[in-house]
Amino acid sequence: MEYFKKLLDLLKTEKEEDQNAYLKLTESSTVAERRANGLTWYPIAIRGSEMSRGDYLTVELERTSHQDISHQLRFGAAAVLFSNHDPQNDRLEGVIAHSSGNKLKITLRTDELPDWARDGKLGVDVLFDNNSYDEMQNALKNADARLGQKEEGHLARILTGAASPSFNSGTFTYSIPQLNTMQQQAVEQILAASDLAIVHGPPGTGKTTTLVQAIKALIKKDHRQILVVAPSNTAVDLLSEKLADEGLNVLRVGNPARVSERLMSLTLDSKMAGHHSMKELKNLKKQANEYKKMAHKYKRNFGRAEQEQRKALFNEAYKIMKEVGNTEQYIIDDLVNRAEVITATLVGSNHYTVRGREFHTVVIDEAGQALEPACWIPLLKAKKVVFAGDHCQLSPTIKSNVAAKNGLSTTLLEKCVALHPHAVTLLEEQYRMNEMIMGYSSKVFYEDKLIAHPSVAQRVLFPGEAPLAFIDTAGCGFDERVEGTSSTNPEEAVFLMRHLTQLVRQLAPLFETGDFPSVAIISPYKQQVYILKDLLLNAPDLQVYADKISVNTIDSFQGQERDIVYISLTRSNAEGTIGFLSDIRRMNVAMTRARKKLVVIGDSATLSRSQFYSEFISYAEANDAWSSAWEYIEA
């Protein structure tokens, strides 16, 4: 069908762009450059090794320096162990089986470490992620093949608009006292849906709380195992913990990003360690390793009898490892069968432990950030899907502008909201922001339907303090500069820090240090963020509260909230060019992080060519929240 053919073409374009970017970073780069780009751990030390499934060897490694550099060596990624003595030839490919802190386990396609692994100068490179693309590609092909099938293709036909979703009303009432009216309605809609339900959760409306209660209610109603997925490990972790806190038996497949004890106890590794058959498994592994050690004692110069002996020992080790594989599979199947909820990332939902499994219901959280081809991986396992997210916030990250423009940036959530509006429940009551902070986003993105819960509607930092401020830098001569592909505005950054310092001085007598309000300083531009971070380090009045102040790009604050939020819009030019700022969904995220005070700093002369910013400035004026930067400069 044309629908999936187009998606496959877009995915191919995206993969090529991604691959080219990877090659550019790695092809002629030194080990130090790759390390700085987060693609390499070097140097590393081997901390241990053990035989694993299919005659492979799993090696535990630790990076021994440069431990503060963030990296992309994630669970499930293809990687290569190399020696820097001869990086072209001394290399062994494998897959990262576990990643935590500065240690990782890599499963290598070999049954013993080569000699060069003893000579030091070892490192690990992450390879291009073909696996995710292969999984997405296969899912799209399978979804296309299913469309013509009566039963198997039913959900795919609904999601592509060829059929309509249906609901069975009033079959199961389940009242949850802690939910508000719309949250309760969302749960009932999910329970009544035969094939599709959508929870649209604007900022602060309790989407996760609603979803967790809905999953609990589904299990109570259907007594069936549910697969819960999200695009990022962080989102999966949050849901896994919340579901476990509700007393559900949760199995977290894959590797958590957050290394809390609570989460670790939900993982397959941890549950396997506590399984009653584990003792037997350990004994078998020990036995196999002993046979292998004995076999390795026969070095290269030996006669026929020794050769036979070595072969017999290896055969014995392999026989035992086969038994290990069977016992391991029995433990995995047992744990998977007993779980009420299985959680994973979209691509991780085809992990070998759950590859062949089917589920009646699949829940996709943060669906507004999920790439459509990745959604089809778990969707092929489902008869019914629940989407939760907000298509008015950040869309998925896409490397290829061509693919994004031609439709890859439009999510399945967005398509389904447009196709099947009767399947959508909008959560209308938010528990985060003062109503003046909420008002503009509500008008532009949510048809003015949002209401602030009475507990937050009027909240401010202190009595009489305004919750919203737009500070206009027009005419101040704060001109933007271009650094590489990013814009900066050093004068605006200095002004922001001065304004924040004044506010902090005002607040200091009102709060104990521990209770001081939390602050986020946000800019859409990476280089501007670097300038702001640098200024913060050199601001003595602010350093006292350094642990309360975070500076970053908008994307890294999605899903978070702070008492006070400053936004540095950065752009200021005679042409009225706003570039990146024209992504108004990104601004929706930025403007809805603040609980008690939102301060937006920008140049109205540049911004007002855009309807979104022009109307925001009018909104600020109407609420007596507009002021000129001149007032502060002269003060």
pLDDT digits (tens, 9 = 90+) for 139-177: 999 999 998 888 889 999 999 999 999 999 766 677 898
pLDDT, greater one: 72 or 625: 625
- Mean pLDDT for the stretch of residues 39-55: 83
Structural domain includes residue 604: yes
Residue 526: burial class (beta carbons within 10 Å; 0-12, 13-18, 19+) = middle
pLDDT, greater one: 95 or 112: 95
Instruction: Please tell me the distance from the alpha carbon of residue 409 to that of residue 439, in angstroms, as a whole number.
Output: 27
What is the model's pLDDT at position 171?
A: 62
Q: Which of 294, 310, 337 corresponds to the end of one domain? A: 337
What is the model's pLDDT at position 447?
A: 96
What is the tally of structural domains in the chain? 4
Is there a single domain that holds both residue 152 and residue 244? yes
Task: Phi first, then psi: give them for residue 577, nearest 5 degrees.
Answer: -80, 125
What is the model's pLDDT at position 73?
A: 86
The answer on pLDDT for 91 being more than 80 is yes
Is there a single domain that holds both residue 302 and residue 418? no
Is there a single domain that holds both residue 352 and residue 417? yes
Is there a single domain that holds both residue 441 and residue 408? no
Residue 53: which CATH number?
2.40.30.270
Task: Phi first, then psi: give them for residue 38, nearest 5 degrees.
Answer: 80, 15
Centre a 10 Å sphere on the Cβ of residue 285 and count the other Cβ atoms it contains: 19
Q: Which of 337, 355, 379 corresponds to the end of one domain? A: 337
What is the model's pLDDT at position 497?
A: 96
The answer on pLDDT for 634 being more than 80 is no
Is there a single domain that holds both residue 210 and residue 65? no
| Amino acid at position 248, single letter | L
Q: Which of 44-58, 276-290, 520-534 has the lowest mean pLDDT?
A: 44-58
pLDDT, greater one: 635 or 217: 217
Is there a single domain that holds both residue 86 and residue 195? no
Tens digits of residue pLDDT in 277-335: 888 888 888 888 788 778 777 665 567 777 788 788 878 888 888 888 888 889 999 99
What is the model's pLDDT at position 200?
A: 98
Residue 460: which CATH number?
3.40.50.300
Structural domain includes residue 383: yes
Structural domain includes residue 30: no
What's the N-to-C CA distance of the chain in angstroms?
Answer: 66
Structural domain includes residue 29: no
Q: What is the mean pLDDT of the chain?
A: 91
Q: Which of 379, 399, 427 corresponds to the end of one domain? A: 427
Is there a single domain that holds both residue 244 and residue 389? yes
By C-alpha distance, which of 518, 528, 517 is closest to 554? 528
Is there a single domain that holds both residue 488 and residue 584? yes
Centre a 10 Å sphere on the Cβ of residue 448 and count the other Cβ atoms it contains: 10
Is there a single domain that holds both residue 277 and residue 156? no
Is there a single domain that holds both residue 399 and residue 456? no
pLDDT, greater one: 329 or 473: 473
Provide the residue range defining the domain that includes 590.
Answer: 432-634
Structural domain includes residue 31: no
> What percent of the chain is predicted at pLDDT more than 70?
98
- Mean pLDDT for the stretch of residues 45-50: 87
Residue 247 DSSP symbol: T
What is the model's pLDDT at position 170?
A: 66
Structural domain includes residue 534: yes
What is the model's pLDDT at position 53?
A: 66
Tens digits of residue pLDDT in 337-375: 999 999 999 999 998 889 989 999 999 999 999 999 999
- Mean pLDDT for the stretch of residues 613-621: 98
Specify the DSSP element, H or E, that contains 596. strand 594-602
Instruction: Please tell me the distance from the alpha carbon of residue 570 to that of residue 603, in angstroms, as a whole number.
Output: 8
Structural domain includes residue 23: no
pTM exceeds cut of 0.85: yes
Structural domain includes residue 98: yes
What is the model's pLDDT at position 445?
A: 97
Is there a single domain that holds both residue 143 and residue 224? yes
The residues pairing with 40 across neighbouring beta strands, listed in sequence order, are: 125
What is the model's pLDDT at position 6?
A: 97
The answer on pLDDT for 635 being more than 60 is no
Is there a single domain that holds both residue 44 and residue 176? no
Instruction: Please tell me the distance from the alpha carbon of residue 77 to that of residue 74, in angstroms, as a whole number.
Output: 6
